[in-house]
Amino acid sequence: MMDAAFNYIPSLINAYKVGHAGDHVHLGYWAQGTSYDWHTAQEAMTNLHLDALDLQDGQTVIDVGCGIGGSLRLVNGRVCDSMLIGVNIDPRQLTICETHQATQGNRFDWVHCDAENVPLDHASTDRILSLEAMFHFPSRHAFLTEAARLLRPKGLLVCSDIVFEQPRTKAHQRFLDVVQTGYAPWPAPILCTDEMELMAQNAGLILRDLQDLTVKVRPTWDHIVSRRDDPEKSPVAAMRDLHYAGLLQYPMYVFGKLSS
């Protein structure tokens, strides 16, 4: 189910275990005029997604690509009597997830599977979250189709992605190659929002909202990479330089299930 992919994950897990990192495995969000720290920015990104989910008590919520459980930990603090399911293809991350304790009548369930084949019944889910994970999936369309299958009528999918425009120079192409190698799997890095909307529609979903967070995540690089790091060797430095070149985009989508 998983080979040599996600080779960067052990360092993130180790940093979490020794207290150098929190339980969010994604970029940060800085609203205009804010100057908070890195961990607060990561929680702000999560909360932005959770606000868009329109969570209610008693729902079934799935986090696809749940990382080490930070997003569902925050969901647990927002709702009562809900089923909170984390899905991840990487058992190392799920081991950390299992240390989280549900409260307020909620229940956690951590599921080892891929995003395109979630072992839950048709129309069994009210809300699906996928925060900054889709670029790892073999097929975004297959994931969207699976999300549409899982969602109940009036259900919502909130998902964010990191995508790139076509490289303009040979150096940009090398940087993109470094990103794909260092953060593998990253099978389809180049995509535009119109293509994503069409894929979702073909899968049975309709776009309710789209937010471009590209500018709001840019301060991330000042916190996680040194200016001295070489983008020809460091995947995070390569992402930074592609972002600075205007080639990285960070969209957040809200999709609803189309009426059958």
For residue range 21-34, list pLDDT tens digits in order. 889 999 999 998 88
Residue 66 CA, chain-centre distance (Å), reads 8
What confidence score (pLDDT) does residue 258 get? 83
Q: Provide the pLDDT confidence category of residue 93 given band limits of 50, 70 and 90.
A: very high
Over range 157-180, report the average pLDDT. Answer: 98
**Token pair 């990103």 is at which residue?**
179
Say whether pLDDT at 153 is over 60: yes
* Chain segment 217-229, per-residue pLDDT in tens: 999 999 999 999 9
Looking at the DSSP bridge assignments, the partners of residue 248 are 164
Are residues 69 and 42 in contact, defined by beta-carbon separation less than 8 angstroms?
no
Over range 125-154, report the average pLDDT. Answer: 97
Q: What's the chain's average pLDDT?
A: 94
232: CB partners within 8 A, 6+ apart:
174, 175, 178, 238
Give me the domains of the chain, ranges plus CATH numbers. 9-257 (3.40.50.150)
pTM above 0.85, yes or no: yes
